[in-house]
Amino acid sequence: MTPDFLFQAVVYLLAAVIAVPIAKRLGLGSVLGYLLAGVVIGPSLLNLVGRVEDVQHFAEFGVVMMLFVVGLELRPSLLWRLRGPILGTGSFQVIATAGAVTGIAILLGQSWPVAVTIGLILAMSSTAIVIQSLAERGVLNTRGGQACFSVLLFQDIAVIPILSVLPWLAHAHGAVPGEGAAHGHESALAHLPNWAQTLITLGAVVAVVIVAHYILRYVFRFVAEAKLRELFTAVALLVVAGVAYLMHLVGLSAALGTFIAGVVLAESEYRHQLEADVEPFKGLLLGLFFIAVGAGLNLGLVAANPGLITMLTLGLIALKFGVLLGIGGLFRMGGGASFLFASALAQGGEFCFVLLGMADQQGLLKSDIAGPLGAAIALSMALTPLLLIVNDRLIQPRFAKMGAPREHDAVESHDHPVILAGFGRFGHIIGRLLQANGFGVTILDNDPDQVETLGRFGLKSFYGDASRADLLEAAGAARAKIFICAVDDEARGLEIVDLVRHEFPHLRILARAVSRSHAYALISRGVMEFRRDTLGSALDLGTDVLKALGYRAHRALRATQVFRCYEEESVRELAKHFTNYEDASYISIARQQLQNFEALLREDLKRQHLGGEDAWDSAGPPKER
Amino acid sequence: MSSPAPGRVLILFAHPALHRSRINLAMMDAVQDLEGVTVRDLYEVYPDFHVEVSTEQELLVEHDVIIWQHPFYWYSAPALLKEWMDVVLEYGFAYGDEGRALHGKRVMSALTTGGPEDAYDRAGYNRFSMRELLAPFDQTAHLCGMKYLDPFILHGVNQFSPEQVTAAAASYRKRIQELLA
């Protein structure tokens, strides 16, 4: 590890740590914070960073991970339902935007191949910025958010044919390809005939689906059984990196490939754990990516041509905004959703840079065009968070005021009101009871065997460690109402309860107490809704014993009920005195309590009209009223 | 359970399927906020029928007027209210030589019936008048030294329109306010 690497790490991390919280506090969102941090440390201002392009390439892996996580949250059935918007809205957006830009470029005196190239480049938007910004607002699942997502997904797919069209355009332009142009879109399959390339590419996608669907669960299980937390993280990252590499080999978009893998794994019982493991890497790399975009902003070039670049940037945003708004109207999204859709996607994106580089290599764009275009694209990306803030504050309130019905969630949210941690001998009974009554429960268990076994009986649960905040987050804790802690390990149970109380204070906690001292610990944490896991069934069996001893069934039940009342009260009372089982004062209080308890119990049982003898046989006036 | 204010009206409410009730829910809502009224939703407090005798007796002592509010199931009260009577109105507390705890208090039944008013008549299909059918409640109160007030009865509630429900709840509130005065 070289000092230079450490210096770079310190610069990037420090910039993020300072800028992002400030941006968040000012209500600007994290994306803008990262971008500004990048501008500040970039070559134009402090010039603290080395080769920005390298960092950006590395950080693009964050975008790949983001698509994986997005895929994990999207079930295949939901994706299938989105096929209309993806193909319809998506293709329409690319064609309409590219067409409009091409027209303008021709009017400005460009040759048609150059104009088409610029059009195709500017049709792209920034998946990273848009999805992150929409997720932060919690609007990804609304009508407008879904439309954005569909368009971005289509662009991810469209990049591939666009890349292959560029050399052809260069040929039509009569351009002289620059250095390395032959390998512009380097694919390991380049030397094969077209049909073989297509076949292998399709084969790779099918392989990803099959492996993710049928084989990975065994790998996950094998790894999870090693009970090493970091190993599962490693295998999660391996899946993402492996798929990305394979896609790269066959010349497909890595983001698209991992997205597909994510969608397939969305049905897996390891989904929440995968999400929790990948999430922090995704967040950091994505942040790094935004910083790199900010740092890559060539302020020198902007300063040299302020008029041109301002016009290009504003023109780009205005044109895309207008086209998107038109599409929103055409597809009848409704006012609020249309404006969200238009505000979110009215920018250039990371694919623009890839395409710009390619066009440059092909000799399609001269640097006096590519330079200002690149700057305008980067500026439009940086302005997106601001545009979204304008949309939030000034535009959306109008639609709300007009009394338009609130946007409903287009995607059925699979967030359940109840999260159940622990699906063992105790928890699975609760889970089944709730499901039998039609309540949605998200079930977590950290034993892969248990998850697998119960899965075979049709009981769906997720493998995951509920003592991790990120996993609970992934399981929907922020939107749930009730948390059930049913794990059998006392210490882990308390750890989970502490975590939930701290991170998700809105959740009502109901807990399994494994022992008396465990119950005391729960009480000391203010968790009063607990049940000792053996009490109920021991009392049930006790009732049967009383019956076997000759009690009538109802009398036996009453005797048990009275006993239970005293027992529950005694635990809560003794909790006030408990320190440990060796403590003499606790022992004496407990003994005293127990004696009082039995005396009271006997008295109470005696007065019970069905258990005792006094009332009904005594000399009161009418016996059989 | 919160300790009752030094209030005076104790509503012992018994409805085993409150989630399906319209009228009884509206009645409860109409009186819940009145000062001096304690509402006790018995099926909520004792889902397992394990009525706590001492708690219930203390509540009785602290109040002046007792309301038995319930739908009129099979010409009587839902099972839990009967259970409440069986175990709470003990010898030595509610009746008997020593049993004077309830003397001088007043009791009122607050009932809803599905059948129309004219069904509760010699000539109607229920054959008996309401007062005849309520004899066991009347006599229970009497034996405990309490005055059994004219019952508050709503007939034919299944056919009530939303407006009628509101009006009935308001008249129930008025009756309880009169008892508080």
- CATH superfamily label, B9-180: Flavodoxin domain (3.40.50.360)
A66-to-A255, A256, A262, A411 alpha-carbon distances in Å: 8, 11, 10, 19
Q: Which residues on A lie below 8 Å from B143 (Cβ)?
A: 621-622, 625
Give me the pLDDT at residue A543, please.
Answer: 93
Final residue in a domain of this structure, among A532, A562, A595: A532
A503 and A597 both lie in a single domain = no
Give the CATH number, domain containing residue A456.
Answer: 3.40.50.720
In angstroms, the separation between the Cα of residue A597 and the nearest Cα of chain B is 16
Spatial CB neighbours of A108, under 8 Å, sequence gap ≥ 6: none
pLDDT category of residue A333 using cuts at 50, 70 and 90: confident
Q: Which amino acid is at A573?
A: E
Q: How far apart are CA A177 and CA A169, in angstroms?
A: 11
A618-to-A180, A231, A621 alpha-carbon distances in Å: 109, 74, 9
Neighbours of A27 (CB within 10 A): 10
Facing residue for B50 by CB, picked from A561, A609, A619: A561
pLDDT category of residue A611 using cuts at 50, 70 and 90: very low
DSSP codes, A85-137: HHHHHHHHHHHHHHHHHHHHHHHTT--HHHHHHHHHHHT---HHHHHHHHHHH
**Does ipTM exceed 0.85?**
no
Give me the pLDDT at residue A409, please.
Answer: 29
Q: Which residues on B lie below 8 Å from A614 (Cβ)?
A: 91
Give me the pLDDT at residue B55, please.
Answer: 93
Strand order in the sheet with A441-445: A462-463, A441-445, A418-421, A482-485, A508-513, A530-532
pLDDT category of residue A81 using cuts at 50, 70 and 90: confident
A101 and A174 both lie in a single domain = yes
Give me the pLDDT at residue B3, please.
Answer: 42
SS (H, E, C) B110-158: EEECCCCHHHCCCCCCCCCCHHHHCHHHHHHHHHCCCEECCCEEECCHH
In angstroms, the separation between the Cα of residue B144 and the nearest Cα of chain A is 11
Give me the pLDDT at residue A183, please.
Answer: 44
**What is the average per-residue pLDDT within A319-329?**
91
Q: Is the pLDDT of residue A424 over 80?
A: yes
CA nearest B91 in A: which residue?
Answer: A615
Q: How far apart are CA A41 and CA A283, in angstroms?
A: 20
Give me the pLDDT at residue B123, please.
Answer: 92
- The answer to whether position A410 is within a domain reads no
Which site among B19, B57, B87 would you substitute to test the A interface, given the most A Cβ atoms closer than 10 Å to its Cβ? B87
CA nearest B52 in A: which residue?
Answer: A562
Q: Which residues on A lie below 8 Å from B140 (Cβ)?
A: 625
Q: How far apart are CA A369 and CA A367, in angstroms?
A: 5
Residue B143 to residue A607, Cβ atoms within 8 A: no
Q: Which residues on B lie below 8 Å from A562 (Cβ)?
A: 50
A248 and A267 both lie in a single domain = yes
Q: Which residues on B lie below 8 Å from A623 (Cβ)?
A: none
Give me chain A's average pLDDT, please: 82
Which site among B1, B46, B50, B143 would you substitute to test the A interface, given the most A Cβ atoms closer than 10 Å to its Cβ? B50
Give me the pLDDT at residue A79, please.
Answer: 79
Among A288-292, A360-364, A588-592, B171-175, the range of highest mean pLDDT: B171-175
- The answer to whether position A296 is within a domain reads yes
CA nearest A560 in B: which residue?
Answer: B50
Residue A609 to residue B52, Cβ atoms within 8 A: no
B149-to-A227, B66, B107, B111 alpha-carbon distances in Å: 71, 10, 6, 13
Q: Which residues on B lie below 8 Å from A615 (Cβ)?
A: 90-91
- The answer to whether position A564 is within a domain reads yes
The residue assigned the tokens 């059009």 is A119
Q: Which amino acid is at A415?
A: D
- The answer to whether position A406 is within a domain reads no
Q: Is the pLDDT of residue A468 over 80?
A: yes
Chain A and chain B share a number of CB contacts under 8 A equal to 31
Residue A467 burial by CB count (10 A; 0-12/13-18/19+): exposed, middle or buried? buried
A59 and A156 both lie in a single domain = yes
- The answer to whether position A584 is within a domain reads yes
Final residue in a domain of this structure, among A499, A532, A565: A532
A343 and A421 both lie in a single domain = no
User: Which residues in A have their CB inside 8 Å of a CB on B?
Assistant: 558, 561-562, 565, 607-609, 614-615, 618-622, 625
In angstroms, the separation between the Cα of residue A561 and the nearest Cα of chain B is 7
Q: How far apart are CA B137 and CA B86, in angstroms?
A: 12
Give me the pLDDT at residue A181, please.
Answer: 44
Q: Is the pLDDT of residue A622 over 80?
A: no
In this predicted model, what pLDDT tens digit does every residue of A163-210 receive, in sequence order? 778 888 888 877 665 544 444 445 566 677 778 878 888 888 899 889
Backbone phi, psi, residue A424, to 5°: -90, -145
A508 and A472 both lie in a single domain = yes
Residue A620 to residue B91, Cβ atoms within 8 A: yes
User: Which residues in B have their CB inside 8 Å of a CB on A?
Assistant: 48, 50, 52-53, 86-87, 90-92, 95-96, 99, 139-140, 143
In this predicted model, what pLDDT tens digit does every residue of A275-291 receive, in sequence order? 888 888 888 888 888 88
Q: Provide the number of structural domains found in chain A.
A: 3
Facing residue for A620 by CB, picked from B48, B87, B95: B95
A87 and A26 both lie in a single domain = yes
A481 and A562 both lie in a single domain = no
CA nearest A612 in B: which residue?
Answer: B87
Q: Which of A52-66, A107-121, A304-318, A567-581 has the lowest mean pLDDT?
A: A52-66
A381 and A392 both lie in a single domain = yes
Final residue in a domain of this structure, among A401, A430, A462: A401
A86 and A30 both lie in a single domain = yes
Paired sense of beta strands A508-513 and B152-154, if any? unpaired
Helix, coil or strand: residue A482: strand
Residue A614 to residue B91, Cβ atoms within 8 A: yes
Q: What is the DSSP secondary structure assignment for residue A405, as one 8-state letter?
A: P
Give me the pLDDT at residue A624, please.
Answer: 39
Q: State the angle between helix axes of A83-107 and A143-173 in degrees (0 to 180), rounded to the nearest 10.
A: 50
In angstroms, the separation between the Cα of residue A621 and the nearest Cα of chain B is 6
pLDDT category of residue B86 using cuts at 50, 70 and 90: very high
Facing residue for A607 by CB, picked from B53, B95, B96: B53
Which site among B90, B93, B140, B142 would you substitute to test the A interface, given the most A Cβ atoms closer than 10 Å to its Cβ? B90
Write down the number of H helices and E strands in chain A.
28, 6
Q: Is the pLDDT of residue A55 over 90?
A: no
CA nearest B136 in A: which residue?
Answer: A625
0.90 surpassed by pTM: no
Question: A190 or A531: whose pLDDT is higher?
Answer: A531
Residue A621 to residue B96, Cβ atoms within 8 A: yes
A149 and A62 both lie in a single domain = yes
Question: B14 or A249: whose pLDDT is higher?
Answer: B14
| Greatest C-alpha distance within chain B | 49
- The answer to whether position A185 is within a domain reads no
Give me the pLDDT at residue A581, please.
Answer: 73
Q: Is the pLDDT of residue A496 over 60?
A: yes
Facing residue for B48 by CB, picked from A561, A608, A620: A561
A382 and A492 both lie in a single domain = no
Q: Which residues on B lie below 8 Å from A556 (Cβ)?
A: none
**What is the average per-residue pLDDT within A107-124?**
90
Q: Which residues on B lie below 8 Å from A565 (Cβ)?
A: 50, 52
In angstroms, the separation between the Cα of residue A620 and the nearest Cα of chain B is 5
In this predicted model, what pLDDT tens digit does every residue of A434-465 receive, in sequence order? 988 888 888 888 887 788 788 777 777 888 88
CA nearest A610 in B: which residue?
Answer: B87
Instruction: Supply the range of the domain harboring residue A435.
Output: 415-532
Residue B143 to residue A614, Cβ atoms within 8 A: no
Backbone phi, psi, residue B148, to 5°: -90, 110
- The answer to whether position A231 is within a domain reads yes
Give the CATH number, domain containing residue A250.
Answer: 1.20.1530.20
| Ranges of each domain in chain B | 9-180
**What is the average per-residue pLDDT within A330-346?**
87
Q: Is the pLDDT of residue B19 over 50?
A: yes
Q: Is the pLDDT of residue A57 over 70?
A: yes
Residue B143 to residue A625, Cβ atoms within 8 A: yes
Facing residue for B96 by CB, picked from A608, A620, A625: A620
Q: Which of A231-235, A620-624, B20-24, B32-36 has the lowest mean pLDDT?
A: A620-624
CA nearest A557 in B: which residue?
Answer: B50
Give me the pLDDT at residue A618, please.
Answer: 36
Q: Which residues on B lie below 8 Å from A609 (Cβ)?
A: 86-87, 90
Residue B143 to residue A622, Cβ atoms within 8 A: yes
In this predicted model, what pLDDT tens digit does every residue of A228-270 receive, in sequence order? 888 888 988 999 999 999 988 887 778 888 888 888 888 888 8
Q: How far apart are CA A413 and CA B58, in angstroms?
A: 49
Q: Which residues on B lie below 8 Å from A619 (Cβ)?
A: 96
